[in-house]
Amino acid sequence: MSDRTMARQVLLYIWFLSLSSALGQVSYSIHEEMAKGSLVGNIAQDLGLDLKRLKSGKARIYTGDSAEYIELNKERGVLLIKERIDREALCGQTTPCALHFQIILENPMEFFRVTIEITDINDNFPSFKKSTIIFRISESVILGSKFMLEPAIDLDVGINGLQSYTLKPTHNFNLKFKNQQGDGENVELVLQKPLDREKQHDIKLVLTAIDGGDPQLSGSIEIHITVLDANDNAPVFLQSIYKATVTENAPKDTIVSQVSATDADEGVNNKVEYSIANMQDDDQQLFEIDKDSGQVTAVGIIDFEKARNYELRVQASDHGGLTDSCKIIVDVIDINDNKPVINIMSKTNVIAENSASETVVTMINVQDLDSGENGKVQCSVNENIPFTLKSSNVNFFSLVTDGDLDRERESEYNISVTCADEGVPSLSSSVTLSLQISDVNDNVPVFDKSSYEASVQENNTPGLSIFTVRARDADFNQNARVSYILEDSSVNGVPVSSLVSVSADSGVIHAVRSFDYEQIKDFQFRVKAQDGGSPPLSSNVSVKIIIQDQNDNAPQVLYPVQSGASVVAEMVPRSADVGYLVTKVVAVDVDSGQNAWLSYKLQKATDRSLFEVGLQNGELRTVRQVTDKDAVKQRLTVVVEDNGQPSRSATVNVNVAVADSFPEEFTDFPHKDYNDNLTFYLVLALAVVSFLFIVSIIAILSVKCYRWRRERMFYKSGANLPVIPYYPPLYADVGGTGTLQHVYNYEVCRTTDSRKSDLKYGRPCSESFISLDSSGTQTLSHV
C-alpha cells in the first residue's frame, strides 16, 4: 500500500468514527496478522438481513480505491479475512487503526457502513536508525551536562510500543527519558561523575530500548565517547522551542526557520555546528539545516495530506563536544491541490420508465484529501434531466429520479456528475453515467387515420386485397408488436367475417367473397389493433367499404312487352302529323351511374324515313307525313344500350299499323296463335280496369276521410304536436340515378275499339294515384 493511500485511510478514520452512531454502522475488532480466512463477524445477523436478501441484492463490499482486506461470504453471511493485515503498514503510529468499507445491496439499492478496528500485537522490535552513537566530550565538562541521544523506534503502539531505556555501564553517565504526549520522545545522557581523560580517554556504553509487550522485545545501540581536553562552556540556544510554517508544495530551498545558539568559549571551542538529530527517513528527504548558520530549508515535497506538522530536534555542538538542543515545530499550510475523487459505489445501468420518483439509480462517494474549505465538496448534475443528487451523508451522494421518465421521449440519458471543492481556485472532477430507460407497455396502438374508407369493384375475386390499415405503437420490442383483429359485427344479418378478413400481422384487409353491388352497396366494420404487452393495450378504428358498380346487367325492356303468345301493334293514323308519338320504349338497367344511362337507337325498320326514336327518352315518333304509299305494316327494331364499359344492350321489336281503320289493318299482321275472339278479351280487360278504378276511388276516399278525421282530432285537442306529413312512395328514381331522368304523366286515350290507342305526353306529376274521368281518359303517374 502506498503512503498516500495509507494517509488517506488515516485521515478518514476520525470522520467515519464520528458518523458511526448516527448511521448505525456495524463495528468489529480484530487483531492484526490474523490468518487468511479467519472469521471477522456474522454481518447478516448483525445487520438484520437474511441470506436470501444478500443473494438477491448481489451483496458486495465497496472499499473505494483501497485494498480489500476483508471478503464477504454470501452463503454464510459472514465476513472473512481476505489478506493479511499489518497494522503498522496500514496506520503507522495512528491510533486507533480501523478499516472502513460499505456493504452494497441492490434491488432496492442500499448500503451499510462497517468499521473493523485493527488492534496491535507486539510484532516489532525497538530499533535504532544508527548502529553507533559517537560523542566527543571535554574532560572539564561540568556535572549534570546533558547529551541528547537518538531515540529508538518501535512501530507498535500503546503498551506494545517503546516504554523504557537502560544504560550499561553507569559509572559516569545515567539516562533521562521523557515520553510526554505532544512533546515526543526525548532521551538524554546526563553526566553524573567527572571525566578524567588521563584515566580513561574512551568510554563505551550500551543503550537498550525496551517495549511493554508480552513477551517484551528490545533493541540496543553502542555509544562511543571520546574524552577531550577541557572545554568549559556548552552552546546555548536562544529559544528552546521554535515555531514555523511552510506551505505544502513549497519550492525547493524555501527557508522554513532560523535557529541560533551561542558558546561563551573562545577560539575553536566557540564555533558551533548545527544538525537535525531526530529525523526519520522521510524527514531527511524534506528538511536540511545549514551546519554553520542554523538555517532550516525545505528540500523535498511537503504534502499536507501526508503530514500536517513536523517536529525537528536541532542539536548545537562545539568542538569540545558540548551540546545543546532545541525543538522546531513546523506546521504545514494546506493549499487546494487535490481534486475531488469520485467513486461509484453502486450503479444501475437500466431503469424502467414507470419507476417511482426518488428511485435510487447510483450511489457515489466523493473524497477530497484537502482540509477545511479546500476539502468541502458540492456535487451537481447537468440540467434539464429528470434526475437529481441527494446527499445522504457527508461526501456520500445518491442519484435519484426527479420526474417522470418516458422512454418514448428519451430512451437513454448521459448524466454528467460534477463535484467541485470550495477552494480558491476551485478544483473539480466529473464522471458521465450512461443510463438506459427500459420500456413498459404504456402506449396504445394509434392508427394512421381516425377512420378508413376504401372501394372495391363488384364481382371481385375472393381473397382480393382491398387495402391496408396500419397502426403504430410508440413502445419498444414486444410492447410495440401490433396485431390486427376484426371485431365481431353483422351486415344485414350476415357476420362481417363472411365478407372480409384482416391479416393479424400486416393489417391487410381481404375480401372473403365476391361482392354484388345490386345486393349491397357499402358496409362498415371495426378493426382492433392490439399490442403484445402484458396486459395488452388496444384501440379500434372504423372501416367503410364501398362497392363500386360494374356494368354486369343488360337493360331490361318494360314496354312494349315482348310475349310469344301475342303481338301487340301500335296504330298510326294516316292523318298523323310530323312528330306524332307512336309509342315509347321503356327500359331499365339495375346497374347504377353511367352504367344505367340508357340510349335508344333504331336498328332496323321497314321504312327508316318514316320513324325515328329519341336517343335519351325512347320515344318513337314520325319524322314525316304519312302517305298512301307507305306500307300498312311497319316492323321496327329498337336497340336499348347502356353507357357502361363495355356496354350492354337489349332489342325490342315494335309493330306499327298505318291505317285509318285499326281492326282491318291490324288483323293482317302475322302472329302466333292469334285469337279471333279478341273482342271478348278486350271487354274482359275493360271490366277489370273498371273494377280496379272503383277500388282505387274507394281507397282514395278512405284515405281522405282518415286524414280529415285526424286533422279534426288534432285541431280539437289543441296540443302542439308535430304533424308528420305522409308521402306515398314513388316508383321513379327521383335522385337521377335511374333510367328516367324525370317523372312524366301519360294520358292513354282509349276508344271503343281498344286495339287502337293514342299516347299523349303530359305534365310532370307528383301524385301517386290513378284518376279516370267520364271520357275514359286514364292518367298513369309513372311506371
Helix, strand, coil fractions of the chain, as percent rounded to 5: 15, 40, 45
Outline where DSSP puts E strands in 404-537: 412-421, 428-438, 446-447, 451-457, 465-468, 471-472, 482-486, 490-491, 494-495, 500-502, 508-511, 522-531
Strand-by-strand arrangement of the 254-258 sheet? 254-258, 295-298, 287-289
CB 353 within 8 A of CB 437: yes
Separation of alpha carbons 528 and 537, rounded Å: 10
Question: 13-27, 198-212, 417-431, 680-694: which range is least confident on average?
Answer: 13-27
Separation of alpha carbons 402 and 534, rounded Å: 27
Return the higher-pLDDT residue of 675 and 378: 378
pLDDT band for position 146 (cuts 50, 70, 90): confident
Asked whether the predicted pLDDT for residue 488 surpasses 50, the reply is yes
Q: Which residue has the cell 440540467?
A: 383
pTM of the model: 0.55
pLDDT in tens, 239-272: 999 999 999 999 999 999 999 999 887 777 788 9
pLDDT band for position 25 (cuts 50, 70, 90): confident
CB 293 within 8 A of CB 335: no
Asked whether the predicted pLDDT for residue 674 surpasses 70, the reply is no
CB 133 within 8 A of CB 223: yes
- For residue 511, the model assigns a pLDDT of 94
pLDDT in tens, 391-438: 877 888 999 999 889 998 898 999 999 999 998 889 999 999 999 999
Separation of alpha carbons 467 and 472, rounded Å: 17
